[in-house]
Structure 1
Amino acid sequence: MGKKNDDIDLPGFPSLDSGGGGDGDTQSKSTGKSKKSGGFQSMGLSFGVIKGITKRGYKIPTPIQRKTIPLILEGRDVVAMAKTGSGKTACFLIPMFEKLKCREPTKGARALILSPTRELAVQTYKFIKELGRFMDLKTILVLGGDSMDSQFSAIHTCPDIIVATPGRFLHLCVEMDLKLNSIEYVVFDEADRLFEMGFGEQLNETLHRLPAARQTVLFSATLPKLLVNFARAGLNDPILLRLDVESKLPDGLMLKFLYCRPDERYTALIVLLKYVIPQDSQTVVFAGTQHHVELICYILTKCGISNTAVYSSLDPTARKINTAKFVNKKVSVLTVTDVAARGIDIPSLDYVVNLHFPGKPKLFVHRVGRCARAGRTGTAYSIFSTDDAAHVLDLHLFLNRQFNINDNKTVGIAPQDLLEEEHLTVTDVKKSHDIAGVLRTSENAYKKYLSSRPVASTESNARIKKIKFYSCKPLDDFLSVNTFLQDPKDSGGEKNEKSKAELASEERKMQEEKHDLLVKMRNFKPSTTIFELNRHQKSVPFTIMKEKRSKHTEVIEKYRNKMEEIDNEEANKQLEADEKEEAEEADADEIESAFNDIVAPKKRKNLEDLYKNKKKKKKVNAKDSENYIPYQSADKHTEDGLAINSFERQAMNAEFSVIDRDSNTDYRPKPGMKKWDRIKKKMVSVQDPRAGKIRTESGAWIPASFKTGRYSDWKEKSKIEEQLQRENGSDDDGFKPLSHDQRYPVGRHARHNAKVAAKKRVGGGDSELRHPEQIVKARMRLEFIKKRNADNAIRKAENRKRSMRKNQRVKQKKGGKK
């Protein structure tokens, strides 16, 4: 298969040819025989894994699953890249279950899954519980923001699988001095997002702590060149697998762009949610910052649209509650920041709305990839203004699509009457005193958002000046909405059906005429100036302008003609091309072959004509397609869209120094040294880069907050270390670890025998000495019982209140009847 234009050249990585979407046979390298492509049964999985897959409802593997799972089962390190919604999570969970098989509490954690966000980690944890319900494996969840004491207790239960975010996991590794020698299987989920969020140091430090004889799997929707070095350092002879890279977006996803003025952004959102998007459908609205999320929620609530919000600084419990509300269809709109652009899978999501346009095309792909997943259909609306027009062009270059403002199926505006109707309500909401602070904060946050957003390419900025967005036509969705709104209630079915079709055509004609009239009014420029309004009065300005106009009439006419030519040039390009094709002139050879005798006057060849011919010949030079080296690479727009750090941003942060700081590790700035801070616009003192940091085993410097001493305090409270010392002292050298059957007996007689054996082993029936795992398990059981009792008490109180309200209603009804 030949190399595509947008493929990334990755030397040293064996690439697996994806063919036509993965429907062909999967070939195994160990046996050399091709397995027939069918269900999961053909992959040689164990009974428990197959049963969990069947109960989950999966029958046929997706193309990425069909290609990836056999390679991971062979023990290969895999770098897999596929579009969103293609089933990447099951690709690394099914081989993990097959590799671990059963629980081994004495060995320690054997699988590690790192996710960039809390939501994605929780979703992976739930998926493990559903898919591995028939596997005897223990999984724990390690998230930032949760209680560290409970995480210490969870790690002491010797789990088999750890699902974690990189920052908190490294914090626990440093705090507890964890030895990760038992890890056999490591997964980096959404690896490019891990680097974008600044987890590069944590990932590299975690890699140094992992054993060399591990299997590493890296999954992502996009794979920029920056991750290649990380993959080479952390993976052993990896194989690269790319499927559906050139499409970038799901097949069932429709993209629509709505242009509006900057002050009508929120009004356009309300018009979309009220008149275009059905009320019973689920919609995710992406905002630029968390301050905008609060403002949007307030505006939607005042407009009567049920909504909720999720953003990074929100309390973790509140984030879970709000997400559950939206998933269970208690509300119809979920307003989020980019924290939800990755990993959240909402099965019934129908629409995505980008209120603030993202700065990178890759972020746009992940935003709109939340809908139209797993073969479903969906629509993504993007509201953009003059600030976002250049980024919209960059997106179309990245997606290799044409951007045509005359195509009102994809690009258009909202009808002016709807905007004016809703604009009054939005302005009334903004003027209320309740959100004065939120409105002011959101305006300042939008300025910061624009300044921190990556700059669009120079090509798009130059091209956007030539596009006249005011000539955009209303979207087709709004035309159909207006037709049904203005449909009269006629009596009679046939007349009503006929009137609907007629009204639809009339509405379209009326909208087109109205649009053309507005465009003409926009283009209208009066021939006279403001000084010539009072023509009857012989004023000094009028006489001066009259004299000036008589002198410069020729210049004014030339300028107007030139502007008209520029305006009509783009519109007439296609017509000129058609005319050239129709009235193509015949060559001299064809004329000579058709006519034997030609009578024509001989033309004299002047020097000027010869010079013009030479110029024309120089311009029409043939380009050798094989040996021609272009100035820009063929996949430039793809690389710019997938890049994590642009060259401009790296150049801004670069500084010239005589000292090589990378090689000289003992470098420390002298006291009193200063440097220029471009943000504060002044000289600031240079701080020691090692101040407030500690050195790890690998030699890297990490913040000192990773080692706070919480673990030692927890050990003193839990008495685990003393219990372990007592047990080791009582058994001396003859201590033997308990087997799985002795620790977890099955049956009433086996449990009784295990208690008797434990009393004999401890000596004299003293039941105070217990294994550390038993202590932690008993403590977690007590915490669970307390929490369950508290939940039951709350539930009983709510039921009591509900029954009291019901009794009051019954009494009121009886009193009314009497």
Structure 2
Amino acid sequence: MEEQQSKKSKSSGGFQSMGLNKQTLLGVLKKGYRVPTPIQRKAIPAILRGNDIIAMARTGSGKTAAYLVPIINRLETHSTEGVRSLIICPTRELALQTIKVFNELGKLTNLKASLIIGGSKLSDQFDNLSSGPDIIVATPGRLTFILEGANISLNRVEMVCFDEADLMFESGFSEQVSDIMRMLPPTRQILLFSATLPRNLAEFLKNTLKQPEIIRLDTEERLSPDLDNFFYHVKEHEKEGHLLYLLLDLIGDKEQTVVFCATRHEVEYLNEVLKIFDIKTSMMFGKADQQEREINLKKFRKQETHVLLVTDVAARGVDIPELDNVINYDFPATPKLYIHRCGRVARAGRMGKCYNFVQTDEVGYLMDLQVFALENKEIEFGVIPRSFIDPYIYQIQETLKGNYDLEFLKKGSDNSLIMYKKSKPLASGEGISKAKVFSIDQIHPQFKSQDNKDEILKDQWLKGIKDYRPKSTVFEIDSSKLTQQQVMAATRLSHSTRIINAIRRNKEEKEKEEKEQLEKELKESGTIPMEEEQKSAGYIPSVPKKRSLFDDTSDRIIYSTRNPLDFTVEIAADEEADLKAQAKQRVWDRKKKKFVMASGGLDQHRREMKKKMEEKEKVKQQFKEWSKTKEKKENKEKGAKMNTSVKTKEQVLKKKMMKIRHEEQKKAADIRRKKNEKRYGKKK
């Protein structure tokens, strides 16, 4: 009977059929994993074969276990030879989560893992490394400084894993990753797990991986099928009221909710607002203290708080098992970011909801999302009835009137949002053009029930008043004579041609001024004009000759989300002279309408290099101090052992001497007694 069950489990494609050793398999089953997810079913056997892996799957699909299980299986037992595996994560939270999952899966093995992240004490991390870990789980920035400062060798590394690699490269860690790769032996196995594959990451993989096996899942369905998406049209000054309605009325206090904000100032402001309304909250953002971030995340996981206010620091990798809802308080600028935010819910077969606040100027991003992630499905979009929202908006306004601290936080939040909007990427041209004809003021289908029929009619009536545009001017209202209307129509027609000509003249004058300014800047900088550059030998145009955005062979217009003239080829310099030359290069700034130094210029480059050198020196200095204190501690312990050994010898000798003395005293007493007996015997 047992043989039949084992055969059945092996044929079912479970963990038992993957060839894992006994300890690893028991650790997986003890963790509660019974049936592998699609990414685990494909990735684990491929990694065990020793292939380089590029695994692409949506968030919440079980990627962490997909690389930890084969790493534990291959390393098997603790070794004193040195570090044998590296796991590199883009954020501290993801690294903490990874080491937690490793401790659970590798419970039955004696493998050691060390955590190296920013915001923690260097001395503690040096202690962990000195204990001889088999696996290092780290963020790339802190790891490179420690490897260089503490002279740690990675020659024994067998497996390297990059988790959420796309975020790592988007966050500007490409240089640190390249430094780490140079320290590794050529025989290492590379595992790369990511949700997307941007261009800079693809170029890196091309140069480092050897015939990788590509595992790509969920390409057709980027968002989880268990996720419900709700999109609400919201005005900027009414967002707090909408948030309170969702948290207090629609969601309630029994469900766990993560609220994504654009800036940390907004997180701090909303945290104070929600506390006033007795909503238990935690907050987490990039500049917060590491210990504080860990405490707040732990509180939320233990359900001590029901709302977690975060910036995009938590948009990747952080797993909260009981999470029910995500609220995008500020709508994400890219579909990719939307996918990662929504990936916090509807994980591992659990249902989830994503509520989105979309302002009028953000509808273009929604249209891009519809094409990129929602497969052009119809979007349920609309407003929440005013009767639900107005009470909360009024309460917020009354609260702000007398609370100066809250007003100060509100002002800081508004200022940070102005800066955020300036740095926000634009929606695609197609998205913007679709947004112009998209209906945004109807009641959301979620609220179109019989109970809300009066509210719907009221909102429709208000919308009709708002959208009303009279066809005649104030001079034509109630005009009894037809000649007055004709005069106004003729006047309007004559004015329209003058307005068009004035706009055209202003445009020509502006273009002329820009051209003169450009020529002036070119002369000052000594840069070769475009026409002369095209004549020079070796010139490569950015677009084919005699081609433009319009197809010359037909009347059809070729629409594109990006202008082909905006594409450039970037070649990273690797020598000091080339770096200086690259830093001196000038680029045209469209906003300032003049040439500026590329990447902040040579001074900026020097400042960055100086900062890096200072940080490296700081790590080296702290490592020296730690080494000295450790040496002193060891010497002290040795001295204490020596002292104890000397003491024990002295004690043994003393005991022997005491014994001998005691025996001698006993003998002397016996002799005295015998003499006394003889003396008294003679007298008698």
Q: TM-score range by the shorter chain?
A: 0.7 to 0.9
**SS at 1:719 equivalent:** helix
Give the match for residue 464 of structure 2.
520
The answer to whether the 8 Å contact 1:286/1:336 transfers is yes
Is 1:666 the counterpart of 2:577? The answer is: yes
| 1:91 aligned residue | 66
Cα distance in 1 for residues equivalent to 2:202 and 2:579: 32
Number of corresponding residues: 571
**1:461 counterpart letter in structure 2:** I
1:246–1:675 CA distance, 2 compared to 1 (3 A): closer
Distance in 2 between the 1:765 and 1:631 partners? 92
Change over 3 Å in CA distance of 1:321–1:725 after alignment to 2: closer
Q: Which amino acid aligns with 1:705?
A: E
Find out whether 1:196 has 2:170 as its counterpart: yes
Tell me if the contact between 1:81 and 1:221 (Cα under 8 Å) persists in the aligned partners.
Answer: yes
Aligned-pair distance for 1:716? 4.5
User: CA-to-partner distance for each residue in 1:659-702, whole Å, 9 max, x for gaps?
Assistant: x99487425869x98968958899789535763577xxxxxx99
Q: Give the direction of change, closer, same or farther, for the CA distance of 1:763–1:524 in structure 2 (3 Å limit).
A: closer
- Contact 1:261–1:386 (CA under 8 A) maintained in structure 2: yes
Deviations 1:75-117 (A, max 9, x none): 1111111111111111111101111111112x01111100010
Q: Which residue of 2 aligns with 1:231?
A: 205
2:417 to 443, 446, 468: 446
Give 3-state SS (helix, strand or coil) of 2:26's partner. Answer: helix
Which has the higher mean CA deviation after the structures are superposed, 184-193 or 321-330? 321-330
Describe the SS at the equivalent of 2:355: strand
AA in 2 matched with 1:691: R
> Which residue in 2 is equivalent to 1:705?
614
1:116–1:194 Cα contact (<8 Å) kept: yes
Q: Is 1:314 equivalent to 2:288 in the alignment?
A: yes
TM-score scaled by length of structure 1: 0.64
The answer for the alignment partner of 1:691 in structure 2 is 606
**Residues 320, 462 of structure 1: CA spacing in aligned structure 2 closer, same or farther, 3 A cutoff?**
same
Match of 2:333 in 1: 359
Are the counterparts in 2 of residues 284 and 352 from structure 1 also a CA contact under 8 Å? yes
1:535-554 Cα offsets, whole Å, 9 max, x none, are 7xxxxxx89x9854243569
What displacement does 1:233 show? 2.0
SS of equivalent residue, structure 1 residue 97: helix
- Give the 3-state SS of the residue equivalent to 2:268 in structure 1: helix
SS across alignment from 2:178: helix
State the distance in 2 between where 1:209 and 1:275 align: 55
* Aligned position for 2:487: 551
1:393–1:403 contact (8 Å) kept in structure 2: no
Cα distance in 1 for partners of 2:169, 2:584 equals: 32
* Counterparts of 1:667 and 1:84, CA distance in 2: 40
Please tell me whether the aligned partners of residues 661 and 667 of structure 1 are also in contact (alpha carbons under 8 angstroms).
no
Distance 1:166 1:358 in 2: 26
CA shift, 1:38, in A, is 2.7
Determine the structure 1 residue equivalent to 2:110: 136
Secondary structure of the residue that 2:606 maps to in structure 1?
coil
Q: What residue in structure 2 maps to residue 61 of structure 1?
A: 36
Query: Which structure 2 residues correspond to residues 782-793 of structure 1 after superposition, within 5 A?
Result: none
Unpaired stretches in structure 1, ≥5 consecutive residues: 1-34, 480-503, 536-541, 558-627, 641-645, 695-700, 727-754, 768-818
Q: CA deviation at 1:267?
A: 1.6
In the aligned structure 1, how far is the partner of 2:602 from the partner of 2:275? 48
Aligned to 2:11: 36
Cα 1:377–1:722 change in 2 (3 A) is closer
Q: Partner residue of 1:153?
A: 127
Looking at structure 2, the residues matched to 766 and 183 of structure 1 have their Cα atoms a distance apart, in angstroms, of 44
Q: Deviations over 1:723-777 (max 9, x none)?
A: 8999xxxxxxxxxxxxxxxxxxxxxxxxxxxx9xx99x9999589xxxxxxxxxx
In the superposition, the TM-score normalised over structure 2's length comes to: 0.76
Alpha-carbon distance in structure 2 between the residues aligned to 1:168 and 1:709: 12
SS where residue 230 of structure 2 aligns? strand
CA contact (8 A) 2:123 2:623 kept: yes
Aligned equivalent of 2:5? none
Aligned pairs (5 A) from 1:275-674: 275-402=249-376, 404=378, 410-431=380-401, 432-470=403-441, 472-476=442-446, 478=447, 505=450, 507-526=451-470, 529-530=473-474, 548-552=484-488, 662=573, 665-667=576-578
Secondary structure of residue in 2 paired with 1:510: helix
Q: Deviations over 1:46-73 (max 9, x none)?
A: 1111111111111111111111111111
Contact 2:229 2:353 in 1 (8 A): yes
Give 1:80's aligned residue: 55
Q: Which amino acid aligns with 1:230?
A: F
What's the counterpart of residue 215 of structure 2? 241
After superposition, the C-alpha distances for 1:457-497 in whole angstroms (9 at most, x for unaligned) are: 11111221222322x12342x45xxxxxxxxxxxxxxxxxx
Q: AA paired with 1:519?
A: K
Greater helix share, 1 or 2? Answer: 2
| Contact 2:31 2:105 survives alignment (8 Å) | yes
Summarize deviations over 1:410-444 as a string: whole Å, max 9, x none: 21211111222111112223333112322222112
Distance 1:285 1:725 in 2: 50
Corresponding residue for residue 618 of structure 1: none
Q: How far apart are residue 320 of structure 1 and its match?
A: 1.1
Q: Which residue of 1 aligns with 2:628?
A: 719
CA distance in 2, matches of 1:648, 1:168: 38
Question: Whole-Å Cα distance in 1 between the matches of residues 633 and 404 of structure 2?
Answer: 62
Q: Which amino acid aligns with 1:549?
A: Q
Report SS of the residue matched to 2:218: coil
- Measured in 2, the distance between the counterparts of 1:661 and 1:40 equals 44
